Amino acid sequence: MSKQTKSKKITISSLLAMKKKSEKIAMVTCYDAAFAKLINNTSLDIVLVGDSMGNVVLGFEGTISVSMDHMTHHCAAVSRGLASQFLVADMPFMSYSGSLDRALQNAGRLLQEGGAHGVKLEGGKEICHTVKAIVESGIPVMGHLGLTPQKIHSLGGYKVQGRGEQAQAIEEAALALQEAGCFSIVLELVPEELAERVTKSLDIPTIGIGAGPKTDGQVLVLHDLLGFDAGFRPKFLKTYEELGERITTALQSYSADVKSMSFPSDEHSFKD
């Protein structure tokens, strides 16, 4: 597989142009500078500091415990490592509800302290006034419809959304988010036919996860696509590596070498 480093910075205009030219958009999550530096050597377009960091790297059960401090800290780390991808940060649970001022302050903090280029908010029509205010303050906003993990307790679990009568609400919400100023919308765990209809109805790009092949782009969680967790293989996921297994094998070899005194050898030692 060829390596491809991006030379030009990705912007919301270039993402819109990609939709117009039917060029697919590739997006991945990232939570630290080490991985961000590796992403620089790829043709990936968008990096998301997702609140999936709660379960993926912080050891929480889900995304609800993720705070503004967590997001800002990890986003700043990614930003220090990243060169040209468009960097989006999730606004965590409850950071954009209640007061518009608080939502604006929190979105601003993700750009000023976290180095993000835009923010992502979960929800439909109910968040449109917040989206509009954030966009009007000069901050690009990505929407997120379908399975919205911050509402997991209301949704009753991780299951496909938008089947039957629910479909219309998602189609209407997508148009409302575009109208409110979103530059793109993530569609998570929805039937592919619905994702295709939404994609065709919008001028802004849709990015799918578990939404079939007809969206304008795809996003996967970094650690999932790299196969960190052998026990997590949902239908929508394609794993490109088995790093969980490979890392464990490497660590066990190191431990065995230390215990058998085959490391360090002369090769790794200094002489007077």
Task: Specify the residue, 52 or 266, whose C-beta has the smaller distance to ligand KIV.
Answer: 52
188 carries an active-site annotation: yes
Closest approach, Cβ 219 to ligand KIV, in A, equals: 5
Q: What values do phi and psi take at 184, rounded to 5?
A: -170, 160
Chain residue whose CB lies nearest ligand KIV? 50
Task: Specify the residue, 139 or 185, whose C-beta has the smaller distance to ligand KIV.
Answer: 185
Task: Specify the residue, 128 or 209, whose C-beta has the smaller distance to ligand KIV.
Answer: 209
Closest approach, Cβ 223 to ligand KIV, in A, equals: 10
Which of 113, 122, 172, 188 is labelled catalytic? 188
**Alpha helices, DSSP H only, in the chain?**
12-20, 33-39, 53-56, 68-81, 100-112, 128-136, 152-155, 166-180, 192-201, 222-225, 243-259
Closest approach, Cβ 49 to ligand KIV, in A, equals: 8
CB 208 within 8 A of CB 174: no
CB 98 within 8 A of CB 71: no
Sign of the alpha-carbon dihedral angle for 134, 140, 145, 150: negative
Task: Specify the residue, 45 or 90, whose C-beta has the smaller distance to ligand KIV.
Answer: 90
Look at the block and give the residue holding tokens 């968040």: 127
Kindly report the number of other CB atoms within 10 A of residue 265's CB atom: 9
Closest approach, Cβ 224 to ligand KIV, in A, equals: 9
Q: What values do phi and psi take at 114, rounded to 5?
A: -90, -15
User: What is the rounded end-to-end Cα distance, in angstroms, of the chain?
Assistant: 45
Closest approach, Cβ 213 to ligand KIV, in A, equals: 17
Residues that bind ligand KIV (CB under 6 A): 29, 48, 50-52, 90, 186, 188, 209, 219, 221
Residues for the chain: how many in total?
272
The amino acid sitting at 118 is: G
Task: Specify the residue, 90 or 216, whose C-beta has the smaller distance to ligand KIV.
Answer: 90
Give the residue numbers marked as catalytic: 188
